[in-house]
Amino acid sequence: MIETIKTTPYTDQKMGTAGLRKKTKVIMQPNYFENFIQSIFNTIPALNQKSFLIGGDGRYFNKVAIQKIIKIAAANQVKKLYIGQNGLVSTPAGSHIILENKLDGGFILTASHNPGGIGGDFGIKYANATGGQCQPAESQAIYEQTQKINEYKISDMPDIDLSQIGLTRCEDMEIEIIDPIADYIKLMESIFDFNQLRALLKSDFRFVFDAMNGVTGPYGKKLFEEILGAPAGTVIHATPLEDFGGLHPDPNLIYAKPLVDLMFSDNAPDFAAANDGDGDRNMILGRRFFVCPSDSLAILTDHYQTIPAYRNGIFGVAKSAATSMAVKRVAEALKIGYYEVPTGWKYFIHLMDSQRITLCGEESFGTGASHIREKDGIWATLFWLSIIAQTRKSVKDIALDHWKKYGRSYYLRNDFEKIPQETADKLMSDLQNKLPSLIGQTFGSYTVNEAYPFIYNDPVDHTSTQNGLIVHFKDGSRIVYRLSGTGTDGATLRTYIERYVTDDLLENPEDMLKELCGVSRQISEITIRTGKEQPDIIT
């Protein structure tokens, strides 16, 4: 039986670039989640002709949320749902499932790299038929619905068994529980040379893949150990856990410290990679060596012909504005298209759909390609393994060869977290107003050459403002300032520090950028305004 439940709006359900992210206890408020799902359905016409994917990263409230979506979808006469077995679907695999099955969209239940558990975070990524993030007009329409909703529809049917692959029904809606891993692995096999990878992983080469107790644990076990023949135990933290086992599932030098410590120990394997909670982010490590994500994108682009799927050429490459200029130098040398976009994967999707790029990436540990419409942690890992298999060189030597060829952008991201939103907004507003007066000023060794807000004008179909502030110095160094939208507790000011050199290629980045980091704080007045003398996280 279908029930109509009277409700009242919540005012804080506006989606950011990463969907709706809130503290888990906020999402669990009476009718909060139901309101949001009904608001999405209210924006979609002809639901009786529409099919959607549902899955998540396994965090706390994931299975409860899936049952709620099923019952609300059934009450709204949705035609069909595809649901990952046990409620699991990685974000990259979800994008592929939507595209492969020509679905009308999907609900990926994740807060990505944010902590889980009842005291952590929960989120909803609503994807459209592109397999990627819904566009600003769609998210605005959903938000407008959340502000006026007064009822939602829901079936009172019993919960669906998510553990058994096969067909079932809820009301008049068809439900197919699917293997969320098999088709994704077939996709990877169509891109990479699995025979070459098997030969590498069955040799004396040592590799660790850290799933951080997120959704890619089962994907990694199946792919790396069962199919490609890596030894049992190659994949660590392989079981998706509701609280990620207490881990913060963000693959960076701070939150993946046990893996970093291993890679800098005397017993370090040859190569390691880590994924975040939903599998779209990646960190790459060699023995006693960390690969900056900006460099990773540049190195992958330079080696694109290593990969069978790209040997006939690629359209081009794009990066977020905050990502270092390393990949631009590669694009110019290879004479391929190059684009700089705001942070947010939706900007890459426009470029992919118009066949202007094949590869893309952000400094926030996200790289991907046009095989899907999301960043892809396992794809990036396979790409690196392919380069190693082809060159027979270490990660460090691959990076050093790259820097000798193109020069090195020493690069750090400084995160100043949990700043009151009003304080952060005022800081950015005042800094933007100050930008013209910075030109020509000298701060220590650095003289400002340009200073401007980053405004993106896509000649095909997109314009965007409020994307951060960029300061260029005469020696080619840069500082980028941007407020992040991925947290749930106050604002995060991120400053991106970059210095280009053609010698001194193996120095410590913090030493090489110490003065410029100080300049970034001086220009922004962040210590005066927030009391923070040092960043909370340095990457």
Q: Catalogue the active-site residues.
A: 112
Q: By C-alpha distance, which of 337, 342, 315, 312 is closest to 327?
A: 337
Whole-Å CA distances, 345 to 215, 284, 443? 20, 20, 34
DSSP state of 245: G
Beta bridge partner(s), residue 299:
none
Q: If residue 105 lies in a helix (H) or strand (E), which one and from where to where?
A: strand 105-109
Q: By C-alpha distance, which of 66, 54, 176 is closest to 126?
A: 54
Q: Are 438 and 448 in contact (CB under 8 A)?
A: yes
Collapsing DSSP states into helix, strand and coil, what is residue 435? helix
Cβ atoms within 10 Å of 353's Cβ, excluding its own: 15
DSSP state of 214: S
Pull the structure tokens for residue 23: 């503290």
Whole-Å CA distances, 300 to 291, 303, 509? 12, 5, 21
Residue 396 CA to residue 391 CA, distance in Å, equals: 12
Collapsing DSSP states into helix, strand and coil, what is residue 129? coil
Q: Are 504 and 492 in contact (CB under 8 A)?
A: no
Q: Which residues contact 172 (CB under 8 A, 6 or more apart)?
A: 74, 77
Residue 125 CA to residue 16 CA, distance in Å, equals: 10
Q: If residue 498 lies in a helix (H) or strand (E), which one and from where to where?
A: strand 491-501
Collapsing DSSP states into helix, strand and coil, what is residue 429? helix
Collapsing DSSP states into helix, strand and coil, what is residue 7? coil
Residue 507 CA to residue 21 CA, distance in Å, equals: 38
* Beta-strand pair 2-6/151-155: antiparallel
Q: If residue 74 lies in a helix (H) or strand (E), which one and from where to where?
A: helix 62-75
* Beta-strand pair 235-236/207-210: parallel
Residue 30 CA to residue 53 CA, distance in Å, equals: 25
DSSP state of 19: B
Residue 275 CA to residue 215 CA, distance in Å, equals: 9
Q: Which residues contact 267 (CB under 8 A, 6 or more apart)?
A: none
Give me the residue label for tokens 């994949």. Answer: 235
Beta bridge partner(s), residue 538:
414
Helix, strand, coil % over all residues of the chain, rounded to 5: 35, 25, 35
